[in-house]
Amino acid sequence: MRCYTHFMKTAFVLFLIFLSHFSFAQEKFFQNAKRVKLVLPDGSRVLLSDEKFKPLLKKWSSLKREDPNSKTLHTYEGFYLKDFLPYIQKTFEVKEPHHLVTEASDGYKVTLSRDALESKNAFIAFHVQGVPKGGLYSQYLKRKFKWQPAYIIAGGGESGVKVVSPYQIKKLTWHEDAVKNPVLSRVSTPFQRGAEIYVETCSKCHRHKGFGGRKAPAMRLVLRKWQSKSDGELKAFLRAPQKTVKRKIQMSAFQGSDEDLEELIKFLRSVLK
């Protein structure tokens, strides 16, 4: 009898711990999810904080990953896409996504292909533990942007895909079918490779022909300022933007090969012709 009583007390304590963890997870999810809209194929929109997402909390998980800037190990909390995406399919009666487009509050956009979405460790995060003094998820950024996490980490699967979506998603657009890219569909053959590099590296922030993010000025506006510069000057700028303009700008350096940079510049030159 004494053993049974002890067992019941232990079980009750464990249940309370589980309940408090579940409640805390629910609080973290709904606090951040209320800022994120899911756009379905028919154009309808629903906030991820909608009551329909409550049953999904049973799948709340965590993932450890190193921050690319600070090299600090973080614990990301949220859902694996292998749980998150089927739940959306079933709840809203939509087909499997061909791709997802994530858009951040600052206009930064990333298109996540099926390869990225099917990556074994693809994960949508709504909370992060272990914020360092420096790095991408620093306390400074959290204060400056009133930062609330909602972003997708993809990588580590058999495909070897490594993708990180915007770190403050405000909109997640579900596409059931392939969408014709207005940049790639209108470019002539000699500039095709450069256009592909542009879409992959530049369109997250710069818009062109109605495609791309809004974090930075439209591509044509930028190129007008640089059309009188030599290819060498343009290469130097793309490799080291802050150093070239001698001021702090929020632009990443081009990390591709010299051959890819040549192709990109050929395409950029063609835009103003």
For the ranges 69-83, 121-135, 203-217, the lowest mean pLDDT is seen at 121-135
Range of the structural domain that residue 251 is part of = 184-271
Question: For residue 40, which of 114, 79, 83, 97 has the smallest C-alpha distance?
Answer: 97
For the ranges 19-33, 55-69, 119-133, 175-189, the lowest mean pLDDT is seen at 19-33
- Helix/strand/coil for 200: helix
- Helix/strand/coil for 57: helix
Count of domains for the chain: 2
Asked if 168 and 242 sit in the same domain, the reply is no
Task: Give the burial class of 124: count Cβ atoms within 10 A of its Cβ; 0-12 exposed, 13-18 middle, 19 or more buried.
Answer: buried
- Does residue 160 carry a pLDDT above 60? no
Report the C-alpha gap between 36 and 53 in whole angstroms. Answer: 12
Report the C-alpha gap between 55 and 87 in whole angstroms. Answer: 9
Q: Taking a C-beta distance cutoff of 8 angstroms, is the pair 37, 173 a contact?
A: no
Query: Tokens 């858009």 correspond to what residue?
Result: 103
Asked if 171 and 188 sit in the same domain, the reply is no
Q: How far is CA 146 from CA 77, 109, 140, 183, 216, in A?
A: 19, 19, 10, 34, 20
- pLDDT class for 202, splitting at 50, 70, 90? confident
Asked if 139 and 78 sit in the same domain, the reply is yes
- Does residue 20 carry a pLDDT above 70? no
- Helix/strand/coil for 149: coil
Q: Taking a C-beta distance cutoff of 8 angstroms, is the pair 186, 164 a contact?
A: no
Strand partners, 73: 66
For the ranges 40-49, 159-168, 188-197, 221-230, the lowest mean pLDDT is seen at 159-168
Q: Taking a C-beta distance cutoff of 8 angstroms, is the pair 114, 99 a contact?
A: yes
Asked if 197 and 231 sit in the same domain, the reply is yes
- Does residue 259 carry a pLDDT above 50? yes
* Model pTM score: 0.68
- Helix/strand/coil for 143: helix
Boundary (domain end) residue, out of 175, 205, 234? 175
Strand partners, 152: 124
Alpha-helix runs per DSSP H in the chain: 2-33, 81-92, 114-117, 139-144, 192-201, 219-226, 231-239, 241-245, 258-271
Task: Check which CATH number belongs to the domain holding 228 and give it.
Answer: 2.60.40.420
Asked if 120 and 65 sit in the same domain, the reply is yes
257 contact partners, CB below 8 Å, separation of at least 6: none
Q: What is the mean pLDDT of residues 7-29?
A: 51
Asked if 220 and 114 sit in the same domain, the reply is no
